[in-house]
Structure 1
Amino acid sequence: MSIRPSPEILPSQSTLSVIARIEWQTVALALAIYGGYFAVTWFWQSLPVVVVIAAGGWLVAWHGSLQHEVIHGHPTRNRRVNDAIGWPPLSLWLPYAIYREGHLTHHRDEHLTDPIEDPESSYFTQVAWESIGWLGRRLAAWNTTLLGRLTLGPVVMIVNFLVQEAALVFKGDRNRAALWARHAIGVGAVLVWVMWVCEMPLWLYLFGFVYVGAALSRLRSYAEHRYADHHDERTAIVENSPLFGLLFLYNNLHVLHHKRPGVPWYRIPLLYRRHRDFLVSVNGGLVYNGYVDVARRFLVKPHDDPRHPQHRQPVTRRDDEVSAVPEITI
């Protein structure tokens, strides 16, 4: 039987989480993201449409990375201030409060990838797999390739999420309805700015900002997790990716984030380099040499079987397996 390395090799979470009252690096990042967003939407008519789409998609995906940072307690010690920084719904479809709740649940590492316990799992239970029919299974299988995840993935993620949320609201969940009402106010403000003030056509925002932004986020999450017997070995590392590393705020070095989720984004690269050997041994060597390596392996080849290994036996359908259909993977 192999002996797993001790997690105590890494500095403790409390030591790494000692920060100033304000993390100015993250404040500057937020200003760059929101400033860039307002600049691109305001000046869009003066820019080539390709530049608008590329910049818009990047900024919305970058904003999603900022929201992730905010969820983990940055850049201040005040949660209300942090939540205010992350709340604006630039992506339109995902309420920050739901993202926050689901992502913190995802960090129960012993349940990583489990389609019932992990809200960010991309796996199906056997019951859910059988319930989606032939066409659904074909689409799900295509969605396990990188090409499918980048092209079909945003539609699958957004539509599935909205359908499940609508079901909760229509069943009478008042808290969810109130949350969506508040979110709708933010969405309305974004669309007023985009369509009325900036006079950008809705199709351009939905495609260039929302869809491309979601696709970039799906690139990050595509190879982040994969089932293994030990939960530490379910989290991957994507090295040597400076451009996407900045876009994802270094969550491509994902096993470090799961071991020490409170570490601010700008400290991750150095900490990873110092403890690389340990982290690679912890995650069982699940390492990719950049996203080109991920594409080389999985562009048209499935990353994994969509059915979770621990849920492949046919079972009697239970009410709690509604959540066995994958929800969101940001």
Structure 2
Amino acid sequence: MARPAYRLLAHSLWDLIPVALGLAHFAFVVWLVLAFHALSWWALLPLALVYAVSLSWSINSISHNQIHNAYFTPAWLNRAFDLLLSVTIGFSQTLYRDIHNRHHRGNSDRPGADGKTIDPLSIYQRGKDGQPENPWAYTFLSFFRDDPKPIYDEMQRKRPADARWVKVEIGVTVAFYLGLAICDWRAVLVLLPFWYLGQALSSLNGYYEHFGGNPDSPIAWGVSAYSPLYNLLWMNNGYHAEHHYRPKMHWTRVKAFHRDIAGQQREAGVKDIPVAHGLGFLVAHRKD
């Protein structure tokens, strides 16, 4: 694909949308803390739930698309946007990129002969008898199981500049939230469990992106959700089978790609669900 005339953007003018939403998400986090004491509990609790959902939304849309097709042409601008995402979401975007790329190397694989999966996020990693793990255990425990150290150590050996940037992202993120706590420690304390809930919701989303997929068939590695509203708000994250089949495809092209390969998908038995991935638990899933 030819680069657009507007050289700051590496792929498409449509990327102005996730960039603007990333800035808006950061502003929302700051506003929620600063406005904490001016809000009644009737307003605060729904807003805190919106905050939790917004974390999963950003991880699976804005952050996800930045990982696969970085928005900007200048490397320094992508570094800056990665830093913004790190601060907003609460963890290193650069480290998450390597974790997510490892996810694509394994594609939610089953454990091998050594009892381990290539994909550190695989829903089969702690399942029994070749079956996926229980969705609620995966959703609420994944946060506590994550061990990014081996992935960071590999990054440090192969790409030390990225490893140094991980430290910058973590340091700035910690400093940012310490600053917010100085402004209003009660607000940060109240929002902390909702931050964890946001991470859990992201795991829930990831579970149903692969539950019912076929780890042995590339075209069926993922599970898609074609709800128009979901894909509008989540920037086509619903086209997940298509994404795993062609992970470097730009988010604006996956819908057309789905139309091109729909016949092949039917033949391969690619699964799709009628709701957003995060609501996959509402669907009666067939057991083959």
Partner of 2:262: 277
Q: Distance in 1 between matches of 2:226 and 2:184?
A: 39
| Matching of residue 63 in structure 1 with residue 58 in structure 2 | yes
Show structure 2 runs of 5+ residues with no match. Answer: 10-14, 111-115
SS in 2 for 1:275: helix
Q: Distance in 2 between matches of 1:26 and 1:182?
A: 23
CA drift of 1:290 comes to 1.0
Sequence identity of aligned pairs in percent?
A: 19
CA contact (8 A) 1:238 1:288 kept: yes
Q: CA-to-partner distance for each residue in 1:27-61, whole Å, 9 max, x for gaps? A: 22222222222222222333322123122113322
Q: Which among 70, 73, 80 is matched to residue 69 of structure 2?
A: 73
Task: Give the partner amino acid of 1:197.
Answer: C
SS in 1 for 2:256: helix
Q: Distance in 1 between matches of 2:17 and 2:125?
A: 39
Q: CA-to-partner distance for each residue in 1:49-75, whole Å, 9 max, x for gaps? A: 212312211332233232212112332
Q: Which among 81, 92, 105 is matched to residue 95 of structure 1?
A: 92
In the alignment of these two chains, the number of paired residues is 260
Q: Distance in 2 between matches of 1:80 and 1:281?
A: 43
CA drift of 1:297 comes to 2.2
SS in 1 for 2:30: helix
- Counterparts of 1:153-302 in structure 2, within 5 Å, are 153-154=139-140, 156-162=141-147, 165=149, 181-208=167-194, 210-225=195-210, 226-240=213-227, 242-243=229-230, 245-265=231-251, 267-268=252-253, 270-271=255-256, 274-275=259-260, 277-278=262-263, 280-281=265-266, 284-291=269-276, 292=279, 294-297=281-284
CA contact (8 A) 1:33 1:62 kept: no
SS in 1 for 2:225: strand
| Matching of residue 26 in structure 1 with residue 21 in structure 2 | no
Q: Distance in 2 between matches of 1:254 and 1:18?
A: 25
Q: CA-to-partner distance for each residue in 1:179-224, whole Å, 9 max, x for gaps? A: 764344123223123311244444322112x122113212321121
SS in 2 for 1:108: helix
* 1:200–1:296 CA distance, 2 compared to 1 (3 A): same
* 1:29–1:117 CA distance, 2 compared to 1 (3 A): same
Q: Distance in 2 between matches of 1:286 and 1:167?
A: 31
SS in 1 for 2:99: helix
SS in 1 for 2:87: coil
Q: Distance in 1 between matches of 2:62 and 2:151?
A: 29
CA contact (8 A) 2:222 2:240 kept: yes
Q: Which among 129, 144, 154 is matched to residue 134 of structure 2?
A: 144
Higher RCO structure (Cα 8 Å, ≥6 apart): 1
CA drift of 1:294 comes to 4.3
TM-score with structure 1 setting the length: 0.64
CA drift of 1:24 comes to 2.0
User: What is the Cα-based RMSD across aligned positions, in Å?
Assistant: 3.7
CA contact (8 A) 2:34 2:184 kept: yes
Partner of 1:107: 104
- Counterparts of 1:43-54 in structure 2, within 5 Å, are 43-47=35-39, 48-54=43-49
Show structure 1 runs of 5+ residues with no match. Answer: 1-14, 131-139, 305-330
TM-score with structure 2 setting the length: 0.72
Q: Distance in 2 between matches of 1:148 and 1:108?
A: 24
CA contact (8 A) 1:106 1:112 kept: yes
Partner of 1:118: 119
* 1:45–1:263 CA distance, 2 compared to 1 (3 A): farther
Q: Distance in 2 between matches of 1:30 and 1:282?
A: 38
